[in-house]
Amino acid sequence: REFLKTISTAAVAAGMGTVALRAHAAEFTLRYANNLPLQHPMNLRAKEMATRIASESKGRVELQVYPSSQLGSDTDTLSQIRSGAVDFFTLSPLILGTYIPSAQISGIGFAFKNYDQVWKAMDGDLGAHVRKQIEATPLFAFEKIWNGGFRQITTGSKALNKPDDMQGVKLRVPASPLWTSMFKALGAAPASVNFSETYSALQTHIVEGEENPLSIIYTAKLYEVQKHCALTNHMWDGFWFLGNRASFDRLPKDIQQIIRSAVNDAAAKQRQDVQDLDAHLRGELSGVGLAFNEPDPALFRKKLADSGFYGEWQKKFGPQAWAILEKYTGTLV
């Protein structure tokens, strides 16, 4: 609670700055879309970042932040950023995989053991490898990936203690080949649903469960429509801060530099915010009725391995990319 209060206060202060600077029409109005609630650290840091950009550009740039999939689902927004209708978009590397398959490599199940491995890989050669693939399209990604968090599985009626418990269970996964493949390999029945539709899909029992980091389960209030949470830490996920390159290239160089620094600095803060939130939220979520259990992750990891999941994706990504991943995670297959 203290933590949330502190970042909310910062965001309110930041918001007031925006109002004052809007007195003069900006020369460049840029649109940034994301799928997360206003209360999530992504949007609190984005607000702060927009204020910094307005101030450092002396009011020349207005960065408009559209949270909660206001401009459309992730699938829609990915089309919009490709055409330039949206300037910036934070998107999971795995959902980006519907457009750039090789971008999914950071989402391999049980690959990263801790944040130290994650940031070394994503700020190092693995991230560079993926950004190069992104740059071969009309998009680009800023250097610092934002934090999604380590993911846990929630369900509505039954607790998942071992892979056997999830056989045939209908689970919502984001729209992404790797996500679908992984939950099929675990024996579940995955259904691709955009995040914007996830709360209602759970509420109306179109699906029985879903998986997300605690910070997202909390800020998107998924606990209202879920009963159990299995702490599996089955994968880490992030959000590339994507830009439409043509629209970014049209900006003066000094403005580009102001934006780049503000976005990367905000990412560094947001990474820690999410890590802290995820570490503290179990108590909060128990308090609002979510029942936690701690299955042995090794059982899920083994189920994945036995199904041939790792071998299949190693082949798809190719030996070179796989070697970059394993440089950070250790041997996976």
List residues near ligand X2X by CB under 6 A: 35, 92, 148, 174, 195, 212, 216, 237
Which CB, 174 or 295, lies closer to ligand X2X?
174
Q: How far is the CB of 116 from ligand X2X (least distance, A)?
A: 22
C-alpha separations of 277 from 74, 88, 89, 159, 197 in Å:
24, 25, 23, 23, 24
> What's the N-to-C CA distance of the chain in angstroms?
41
Work out the number of other CB atoms within 10 angstroms of the CB of residue 52.
Answer: 20
Which residues, in sequence order, are bridge partners of residue 237?
149
Shortest-Cβ-distance residue relative to ligand X2X: 195
Question: Do the beta carbons of residue 316 and residue 103 sit within 8 Å?
Answer: no
Q: How far is the CB of 195 from ligand X2X (least distance, A)?
A: 3
Reference 65, options 79, 76, 52; nearest CA is: 52
Q: How far is the CB of 59 from ligand X2X (least distance, A)?
A: 32
Q: List the helix and strand counts (H, then E) for the chain.
A: 14, 12
Give the position of tokens 């408009």.
64
Q: How far is the CB of 133 from ligand X2X (least distance, A)?
A: 19
Which CB, 107 or 163, lies closer to ligand X2X?
107
Which CB, 51 or 92, lies closer to ligand X2X?
92
Which CB, 195 or 300, lies closer to ligand X2X?
195
Which CB, 151 or 303, lies closer to ligand X2X?
151
Q: How far is the CB of 174 from ligand X2X (least distance, A)?
A: 4
